[in-house]
Amino acid sequence: MQLMGVGIPILSVITYIPLLGALAIVFFLPKEKTGAIKSIATLVAVVDFVVSLPLWFLFERGKDGYQFVERASWIPSLGVDYHFGIDGISLLLILLTTLMGVIAVVCSYTAIGERQKEYYVLLLLLQTFMIGTFCALDLFLFYVFWEVMLVPMYFLIGVWGSDRRLYAAIKFFLYTLAGSVLMLLGIIALYFYNTTGFLGYKGLGSSPTFSIEKLTAVAAAMPAELQIWLFFAFFFGFAIKVPMFPFHTWLPDAHTEAPTAGSVILAAVLLKMGTYGFVRFSLPMFPDAINTPWVRGIVVTLAIVGIVYGAMVTLVQKDMKRLIAYSSVSHLGFVMLGVFALNMAGLQGGILQMVNHGISTGALFLLVGMAYERRHTRMISEYGGLARQMPIYATYFLVMALSSMGLPLLNGFIGEFAILQGAFAVSFWWAFFAATGIVLGAAYLLWLYQRVFFGEITNPANAGLADLTGREQLTLVPLVVVALWIGLYPRPMFDVLRRPAEKIVEAVGGKTLPNPALAREPAPAAGTPREAAAP
C-alpha cells in the first residue's frame, strides 16, 4: 500500500500490531496493573481494527489475483518465502477477525478475574496468528501460522475454561494437530511434485517454491489419482477444523469449556480456517479429485449429515453454550454444502455464510456469556422469563437468534438463500436436506428463546438480574449493525467475493452461473424460494 509515496506493508502491520501489543504488555506492565493491561489490550485491538479498515476501501473489486502483496525470501534453501497478500475472501475474513478481536477483548473485562496479564497476552497473540493465516500466500508460512495458532487457544481454554477444561483443551489440540500434520505431508508431496518428484511420480523439475499461486497451478495439472490422495491429506486438516461430521466431537467440548471470548473467537474465526482452507486450497488445487463423483459424494454427504445431525443434536441440548456449539456443526455443514456446489451462488453464499456465522454465532456466545456472568450457570432449565427482567438483553438475543436461523432482512438469510440456490442447481435433494436443516434451526433457536425468555420468572435467582451494561451493549451493537447491513444490502460483500469466486469456480470446472442472490437485476425466481427457504 502506498501512503504519501511510501510503501507500507499494511498486511504485516495489521498482523503484527497485536503481537507487538502482547510483547509490550509482557515486558512493560506488571501483572498487578490489570486496569492498564486491559486498556492497552483494548487499544491495540481497536488500533488493529482501524488499521484494517482501509483494506476495505482500497481493495480493488474487479481485479484478479492478490492485492497488497508483500514478498521477501525467508528460507531460500527450501524455497520458502515470506509472502502475504489478500483477495476478496481473505479480506472479509481479516476484517471479521479484527472486529472480533476488539469484541473478544472488551467482553472479557469482568468475565476474566484471574491471571489477566497472561490472558490478554494470549488473546493478542492468537489475533496475530489468525490474521497471518488469512494473509499467507506461501504454504509453508500458512502452515506455520495455522499450527502455532493452536497454542494460545489451548491455553485460553485450559486456564480460563470451566470444569472440564483440561480435557477439552487437549482434545481440541490433539484433534486439530492430527489433521494438520497430515496436511503437512500433503504440502511436502506437492512440493516434491513441483521439484524432483517422489514415490515414482516424476517431478516437474521447477525450482523449489511454496507459493500458493504457483503450487495451485501445479496441483491442478496433476494426475487425478495423485490429486485424490493429496485432496484427502488436506481434507483431514480442514475437515477437522471446520468441523465436519464425524470429526466434530472436539467442538462442543472446546466451545462449552472455553471462556466467552474463547468461544467467540473459536466460532467466529477459528472454524472459518477450515472452510477457508477448502476454498483457498482444496477447490482450486484438486479439481479432478473434487469432480470425481465418489470424492465429492463423500464430502457432500458428510456436509448434509452434519447439517441434519448437527441440528437434531442441537435440539436436545440442555446447556445453552453446548446448544450453540452444536448449531455451529449444522451451520458449517451449510457452508460446506455451498462450497461444494461448485457454482457461483453456492460458493459466494458459502463464503458469506462463513462471515455470517461468525457474526451470529459469535454474538450468541457473547450473549450466553453475559447470562453466565450473572447466574454462573448455562443450563436452560435454570432460566425462564428473562424477557421481563432483562428486556434489552432479550432484544439483542432475539435479533441474533433470528439472524442465526436465517430470517429475511438479516444476514443469515442472504447466505443460506444463496447456498440453497447453489445446492438446488446441482440437486433437488441437496437443497431439500439443507432446507430441513433450516427448519430444525428455527425450531431449536425459537425453542431455546421460548424457554429462556418467555413465561413467568419461576426461578427466584433470576428475579434480580441486571440488564446489559453499556459496555456489554457496545460489544453487541457492531455485530447487530453488520448483521443488518449484510441482510439489507449484501451487494458490497458479493462484489468483493465475485472475482475470487469466479476464478475458483472456473478452476474447478463448475458453471459460473450468475448468482441470483446478487440482485444485479431483479431476479424473477427470488420471490418463491424465499418463503420456501425460510419458514
Partner 1 sequence: MKVAAADWFLLSPELFLTAAGLLILSISVFVEKAKEEFLAFLALLATAITIGLVAFLSGYHGRSEPILGGMFVLDNFAVFFKLLMLISIALTILASIQFVGRAAYPAGEYYALLLFTGVGMLFMVSGNNLVSIYVALELMALSSYILAGYFKGEIKSTEAALKYFVLGAFSSGVLLYGLSLVYGVAGRMGLPELAKLFETQEKSNLLIVGILLILAGLLFKIAAVPFHVWTPDVYEGSPTPVTAFFSVGPKLAAYAILARIFYVAFPKFHSDWGLIVALVSAATMVFGNLAALLQTNVKRMLAYSSIAHAGYALMGVLGFRTEFGLWGILVYLLAYAFMNFGVFALVVFLETKGYAAESVSDFNGLAKRNMTAAVVMLVFLLSLAGIPPTAGFIGKYYLFTSAMKAGYAWLAVLAVLMSAVSLFYYFRIAAAMFFSEGEGVPLKSSYALTAAVLICATATIVIGVAPQPFVEMLRACVIKAP
Which residues of the chain form contacts with partner 1 (CB under 8 A)? Answer: 74-78, 118, 143-144, 147-148, 150-151, 154-155, 158-159, 165-166, 169-170, 173-174, 177-178, 181-182, 184-185, 188-189, 191-192, 196, 198-200
| DSSP per residue, 157-223 | HHHHS-TTHHHHHHHHHHHHHHHHHHHHHHHHHHHHHHTTEETTEEP--PPP--BHHHHHHHHHTS-
* Residue with smaller CB distance to partner 1, 104 or 156: 156
Could you tell me which of 363, 353, 342 has the C-alpha nearest to residue 299? 342
In the complex, what is the shortest distance from the CB of residue 508 to partner 1, in angstroms, rounded to a whole number? Answer: 26
Nearest distance from residue 325's CB to partner 1, in Å? Answer: 22
- Nearest distance from residue 279's CB to partner 1, in Å? 23
For the CB of residue 454, give the shortest distance to partner 1 in the complex, in Å. Answer: 40
The sign of the torsion formed by the CA atoms of 320, 326, 328, 334 equals negative
User: Which cell numbers in the block locate residue 485?
Assistant: 447491513
With respect to partner 1, which residue has the nearer C-beta, 70 or 147?
Answer: 147
Q: Minimum distance between the CB of residue 31 and partner 1, rounded to whole angstroms?
A: 9
Using the minimum distance from each CB to partner 1, give the nearer residue, 254 or 352: 254
Given the complex with partner 1, which of 208 and 408 has the nearer CB atom? Answer: 208
- Could you tell me if 363 and 465 are in contact, meaning their C-beta atoms sit under 8 angstroms apart? no
Kind plus residue range of the DSSP H or E element containing 118 = helix 116-135
Pairing of strands 197-198, 201-202: antiparallel
Residue 1 vs 188, nearer CB to partner 1: 188
- Nearest residue (CB) to partner 1, 166 versus 477: 166
Residue among 372, 373, 440, 361 nearest 397 (CA): 361
Smallest distance from the beta carbon of 277 to partner 1, in angstroms?
A: 17
Q: Please, what is the minimum distance in Å from the beta carbon of residue 42 to partner 1?
A: 23
We find the least distance from the C-beta atom of residue 198 to partner 1, in angstroms, to be 5
CA–CA dist 183, 191 (Å, integer): 12
Kindly report the CA angle at 400 between 462 and 385, in degrees rounded to 5? 20
Nearest CA to 407 out of 345, 360, 449 is that of 360
SS3 322: helix
406: its cell numbers: 436465517
For the chain, the residue count is 535
Nearest partner of 101 among 93, 89, 110, judged by Cα: 93
Q: How far is CA 370 from the centre of its chain?
A: 22
The values of phi and psi at residue 246, to 5°, are -95, 25
Smallest distance from partner 1 to CB 169, Å: 8
Q: Which is nearer to partner 1, 171 or 321 (CB)?
A: 171
76 versus 522: smaller Cβ distance to partner 1: 76
Give SS3 for 404: helix
Do residues 114 and 123 lie in contact, with contact meaning Cβ atoms separated by under 8 Å?
A: no
Q: Which is nearer to partner 1, 132 or 385 (CB)?
A: 132
Nearer to partner 1, 47 or 184 (CB): 184
Q: Which residue, 237 or 437, is less far from partner 1 as judged by CB? A: 237
Please report how close the Cβ of residue 76 comes to partner 1 at its closest, in angstroms.
Answer: 6
Query: 175: alpha, beta or left, given left = phi > 0 and alpha = psi -120 to 50?
Result: alpha
Q: What span, in angstroms and rounded, lies between the C-alpha atoms of 204 and 202?
A: 7
| Chain centroid, CA 302 distance in Å | 19
What's the closest the beta carbon of residue 199 comes to partner 1, in angstroms? 6
